[in-house]
Structure 1
Amino acid sequence: MEQRSDEVAIEFPFFRIYKDGRIDRFFGDEIVPPSPDSATAARSKDVVISPESGLSARLFIHQIPDPTRKLPLLVYLHGGAFCVGTPFSPTYTGHASSLAAESNAIVLSVHYRRAPEHPLPIAYDDAWEALQWAVVHSGGGGGPEPWLNQHADFDRVFVGGDSAGANIAHYVVLRAGVDGLNGPRIAGLVLVHPFFGNDKPNRLLEIIFPSRSVPNDPRVNPGFDPDLSRLGCGRVLIFVAEKDFLKDRALAYYEALKKSGWIGLVELVEYEGVDHVFHLFSPKCEQAQALVKKVSSFLNQAQAHI
C-alpha cells in the first residue's frame, strides 16, 4: 500500500497541497441538500449538465402563482479564488435562494470544476458549457430541464457572480459577444466584488493558472483585452465595497469598459464600511439586503438598448 506523505508542498489561505498530491481545502466544502427554503420560499434541485466531466448546478425557482408567467434567468458563478466554494454549500444556497425569491427569477448556480486539481481555464470552459446548456432550452421544450423549458424568459438571460465567479461571469459574457451564443442575447452582467488581476506577480495564479500569458492575460485582467468592446450584453452592474482590497481593480474595469467603445449601460454601486463579499457572511445586514434588492431591480428592468 502506498504511504501518504504529510509533507506540504504548497500552502495558501484557501488550500494546502501535499507532496503526494493530496489537497486539503480549509473551508467552503460544506453541503446542504436541495429543498424548499423556509426563509425565502424558493425551491431548489440539483441538475447534471455534463455526466462526462461532472459539471453540475443547483437550480432555484420561487413559488409560481401564475404558471404562464416567464421569469428572468440568472446563470450564477460562485466565488472562492477559483479554488473553494460550491453552490451546494449553506452560504451559496442561501444567497441564491434570496436572489430567486427577491427577483422572482430562476437562478442556475453552477458547480464548475475548481483549481488546483482542475487548473484554469477549466472553470472558464465549464461556465461557458453551462450557459450553452441553459440556452438550449430557449426553443420551447428543447432542453432536458422542465423548469427552464416551462418558466424561463430567454429574452431576460443574465450572467453574474461574486469575486472569482464575477471574473468567470465577465469571461462568459465576453465570449458570447466574440464567438456568438447559439440562442438568445445576454441581457445583462452582474459583477459583485470581482476578482480581477493587475500587472503585479500573483503566486496563487501562477499555481492555478500556469498556462496564462503573464502579466496581463485578458481572462484575468480584462482591462487589457482588445476585445472588451465586444462584451455580449447591453447592461452591466458592478458592486464594490469600500474596504475590499480588490476595489481598485473593479474601478479600473469600470473605467476600461466605458472607454472601450462598448455600446451599453454600466452602473457602479459602492457600499461603505464593508469588506469583500460581506453579503455572504452577513446576509441579514442592511447593505446585504440592499444588494439583493438592487440585483432584483436590475433583473427586472425593461430591456436596455443594445
Structure 2
Amino acid sequence: MGSISNEIDHEFRFFRAYNDGRIETFYKTQKIPPSTDSITGVQSKDVVISPEVSARIFVPKIHNPTQKLPVLFYIHGGGFCLESAFSPMFHKHLTLLAHESNAIAISVEYGLFPERPIPACNEDSWATLKWVVSHSTCNGPDPWLNQYAEFDWPMVVSFVQLL
C-alpha cells in the first residue's frame, strides 16, 4: 500500500488534488427533501433513474386534471463538481420555474467529480432524459409524468453554469 503524500499536485477553488491521487474537497452541498410549496402549491418528489442517478420532479398546482403540461428538463450548474438537484438554491429555483411557467420541471441529480469523473455527469443527464422520454406513451415508471406530461410539445432543456 502506498504512503500518503501531502504534496499538492493541483490547487483549485473548491478542491485540492494530491500527488498520491487523493482529493480534498472544500465545499459541502446541503440537500433538502422534496415538499409541497405552501405559497405556489408546487409539489416535488424524488425518483430513482438508476443506482447512480436520481432526479427531482416539480409539478405545478393542477387546476384541470385533464390538461397536459409541457416538460422542462433542467441540468443544474456547479461545474459538475458542486451543488445538487436537491440543494435549497435549485429546489427554490425549480419550484418557482414550474409555478411561473405552468410546466413540469425535472432536475437531474448527476454524479459529481471527483467521486464520478466526467463524463459521468453527461451520461447521467442523458440517462435521465431517456427516462423522461420513456413516459411519452403514458406508460413510464412515474405516474406524475404519465398523467400530466405533454410530449407533443418540444421539451425545454436548460443548463445553468455557476462557475
TM-score greater than 0.5 by the shorter chain: yes
- Aligned-residue sequence identity (percent) comes to 50
The two structures, once aligned, show a CA RMSD in angstroms of: 2.2
Does structure 2 conserve the Cα–Cα contact (< 8 Å) formed by 1:28 and 1:86? no
Q: Which amino acid letter does the alignment assign opposite residue 159 of structure 2?
A: G
Q: What does 1:1-306 align with in structure 2 at a 5 Å threshold?
A: 8-19=8-19, 21-27=21-27, 29-51=29-51, 54-140=52-138, 142-156=139-153, 157-163=155-161
* TM-score normalized with structure 2 length: 0.88
Instruction: After TM superposition, give the deviation of residue 19 of structure 1 in Å.
Output: 4.6
Call closer, same or farther: CA 1:93–1:7 in 2, change over 3 Å: farther
Counterpart Cα distance in 2 of 1:22 and 1:41: 44
User: Distance between the aligned counterparts of 1:24 and 1:37, measured in 2?
Assistant: 36
Task: Quote the offset at 1:7 in angstroms.
Answer: 5.0
- Report the alpha carbon displacement of residue 10 of structure 1 after superposing the two structures with TM: 2.5
- Which secondary structure does the structure 1 equivalent of 2:73 belong to? strand
Q: Which one has more relative contact order, counting CA pairs under 8 Å at least 6 apart?
A: 2
Task: Check 1:5–1:91 CA distance in 2 against 1; reply closer, same or farther (3 A cut).
Answer: farther
Counterpart of 1:219?
none
Cα deviation per residue 1:17-60 (whole Å; 9 max; x = unaligned)? 34554434333611111111234321111110012xx1111111
- For the 8 Å contact 2:40–2:61, the answer to whether it is kept is no
Amino acid corresponding to residue 56 of structure 1 in structure 2: S
Q: What 5-or-longer segments of structure 2 have no aligned partner?
A: none
| TM-score (ref. length: structure 1) | 0.49
Q: Secondary structure at the match of 1:138?
A: coil
Letter in 2 for 1:45: K
Alignment-derived partner of residue 244 in structure 1: none
**1:40 & 1:18 partners in 2: Cα distance?**
46
Instruction: Report the count of equivalent residues.
Output: 161
Whether the aligned pair in 2 keeps the contact of 1:28 and 1:89 (CA below 8 Å) is no
Following the alignment from structure 1 to structure 2, what is the Cα–Cα distance between the partners of residues 40 and 11? 43
Cα 1:95–1:25, aligned 2, differ >3 Å: closer, same or farther?
farther
Aligned amino acid, residue 140 of structure 2? G
